[in-house]
Structure 1
Amino acid sequence: MTTGQQSGDATTLKMTPRTKLLVWAVLGAAGVGLGVALPWLLQHAASWPIPYFTVLEAIGSIDSPLMVIGRPAALGLVGLTIAFFITHEAATLVLTDEEITVTEGDDTRIIERGQVGGVYARGGKVRIESPEGRILFHDDVEGGKLAIAAAFRRHGYPWESIERDPKAAAR
């Protein structure tokens, strides 16, 4: 999901707060679920050749109230930590007719209009290349391919991927 906010002559492509909340909820719940299911999973994995399995088995077999609550809580916290890094490091692109400002985590850089030779989607990621073919940006950008393409085209950047509108194809 993307926020295609337009303020004056700028368009911002970034992860929406709703998407961030969804990532936090899913990864936190997955950690808690893994903590609850860990004893059962370890019992079924006993036949696998896993190094140090006896240590894992011992941890999974502890049924004290502290471990029954602590395992899901600790793994839920691990899930939330991973969610924090995912949402914090998600790329934000601010497009204007003159430049693209890319912010990833605490790092911000500017790609001048003259540096951009082509923009396209590649493998689920947006790729910005210079006229010489140097990769200036290649990462996930939140939102659908059509919305991202429209944002780049609106500011006159050379979008090179071919989009097919699923609604038009159904007609």
Structure 2
Amino acid sequence: METIVDEPQWLRTASWLGCPLAGAAIGWFLQSIADWVVSLSWVPFKGPFQLVSDIPHPWGVVAGIGAGLVLGLLFAAVWAHERLIVKVTPTRITLTTKGRSRAFEAKLEAVFLDGKELVLLAADGRELVREKADVDRQAVATAFREYGYPWQDEPPAVK
């Protein structure tokens, strides 16, 4: 028996679709933006903008869309790689992020969210882990409480 807390499926799907589409949309306007920046007399470092502005139409637009699409895919991949997946069982807590899983089986004094960080404190008060966690606070709390872990709604007072 286990409970897994992760980003909702709709958000994972939206990131893989939305980021590339947003990148492509920005890329669509890249040449127009470059043309505008080059026309401003006060802008320093016009070289890169001039380079983009000089690409003949329609290739500048096509290149902008392609570059935006690729950058959007890269952003979505980084997002997926950085997200935290929390797996809770009666005897083990497994945290997976950045392609790495860490399991904890120690007796815990407290489990809580400190801002956007998930913190596990060992029975002796040591901090076992502090991991950035953009997860649903209520879902994490429910998962830990369900298996009898010492979930706290607020960080404990410093001893």
Using the size of structure 1 for normalisation, the TM-score is: 0.75
Aligned equivalent of 1:29: 21
Task: Please give the root-mean-square deviation of Cα atoms over the aligned residues, in Å.
Answer: 2.3
One of 80, 83, 86 as aligned partner of 1:87: 80
- Give the direction of change, closer, same or farther, for the CA distance of 1:97–1:21 in structure 2 (3 Å limit): same
One of 86, 99, 110 as aligned partner of 1:106: 99
User: Structure 2 residue aligned with 1:161, among 150, 153, 157?
Assistant: 153
| 1:145 alignment counterpart | 137
Offset, 1:44:
4.8
2:157 aligned residue: none
Distance 1:107 1:119 in 2: 21
1:17 aligns with 2:20: no
1:74 aligns with 2:67: yes
In the superposition, relative to structure 1, how do residues 117 and 79 fare at CA in structure 2: closer, same or farther (>3 Å)? Answer: same
Contact 1:117 1:133 in 2 (8 A): no
- How many residue pairs get aligned? The number is 151
Q: Secondary structure at the match of 1:98?
A: coil
Query: In structure 2, the residue corresponding to 1:157 is in which secondary structure?
Result: coil
Identity of aligned residues (%): 23
Structure 2 unmatched ranges of 5 or more: 155-159
Where do 4+ consecutive residues of structure 1 move more than 4 Å?
Answer: 47-50
Q: TM-score, normalised by structure 2?
A: 0.80
State the 1:49 CA deviation: 4.8
The secondary structure found in structure 2 opposite 1:117 is strand
Q: Which residue of 1 aligns with 2:109?
A: 117
SS in 1 for 2:90: coil
**Which of 129, 132, 143 is equivalent to 2:121?**
129
